[in-house]
Structure 1
């Protein structure tokens, strides 16, 4: 498709201007830039990172019933947590919008959009980048915890993913909120399947992961 600039990028920006508030557009642009920076840091496709970053929140402000209807029409498997909180479907539905509204066919880009909120066990490095960019872009804050995660994301994507999941889960527990099982599965997959760099240096053995986490 070439560089993600010019006509297609402007088309997406115009669509976003009509469908999300300005504050969300600022976030989206920050995610795009953070995803580009992470892609450059880790030697990944910058063009794909830019596409997925800019389009990750296309369905962010869709109404709950629309999210549920589009997910069901697409044949997506819905967890009870999805039905209790349809907003969680905005990532998966956003990938549908990217495909149908903007003609995005690259499966890796579509998966990166779909996985940016809940993650997915075994998700690709591009998905990891967009997942992290959404949580760690500068507008999210300047706490010591966020800054530590930003530093880790520059060095070790898998470690940054499970640590970001940990932080999200801890926050949801503190607020007595439902936790989507996909977040837990993502956290466990990256914790057990891909050890942090220091752990790899310390031990050559890797504990086998339970089969349920690799599905």
Structure 2
């Protein structure tokens, strides 16, 4: 039995999400946007599933990621509907038990790094894409890839994946330190630069706390750093402040 809503729990309706200390995000317009390969999903069904499978605090995070993904997609002229979908479904497998994550990854034929085996929680992004596909019928590869890539990233990932990666790491609930505020500003100015700088921020934390670092996270950081440098050298991108 679910507990009654607390004063800080977001109010959920079909078209409007109200978050603590945030402006309501109107999703009515999003549902009317044209998308060349759009898989319609029942947002209420996803929200109901999430309410049964993640705690209230995680649902609030998910809704903040969805809202920031929408804002970033609008800023960078990307498909807002796809950004909203991927943001809403990015943490479907967040609370799956380690054995379930490993079993599902093996059944899907995913290659497991030793770091995955030591820390199966890192698989929740890849497994979340499987849940989105099998539970909610999502077949759009851009959306599925954005879900897969939201934790570790992926070298060469597209802009939609960058948007969800950044929204997950930088949504307002993560804090309001000067460094985070600067990273948020970068995310609205230059996706590639924001990705590698956000990777650096995360890597610094992991190293400081003597945590394992997944090689995919390092590869993502290096790819986007090199890409940004090449663009700067070619004069196609104005560097932002460090």
TM-score if structure 1 supplies the norm length?
0.90
Question: How much has 1:200 moved relative to structure 2?
Answer: 4.5
Deviation of 1:194 (Å):
3.0
Gaps of 5+ in 2: 1-29, 34-39, 238-242
Structure 1 residue 7, shift from structure 2 partner: 6.7
Q: Is 1:158–1:196's contact at 8 Å kept on the other side of the alignment?
A: no
| CA shift for structure 1 position 202 | 8.8
Superposed, 1:1-150 pairs within 5 Å as 3=31, 8-150=42-184
Distance 1:200 1:171, change over 3 A: farther
Q: Which consecutive aligned stretches of 4+ in structure 1 deviate over 4 angstroms post-superposition?
A: 4-7, 196-200
Query: Where in structure 1 are there 5+ consecutive unaligned residues?
Result: 204-215
In 1, the alpha carbon distance for the partners of 2:185 and 2:164 equals 16
Greater helix share, 1 or 2?
A: 1
Provide closer, same or farther for how the CA distance between residues 202 and 41 of structure 1 changes in structure 2, counting only shifts above 3 A: closer
Which structure carries more relative contact order (alpha carbon 8 Å, separation 6+)? 1
Tell me the equivalent position of 1:210. Answer: none
SS in 2 for 1:61: coil
Q: What TM-score do you get using the length of structure 2 for normalisation?
A: 0.80
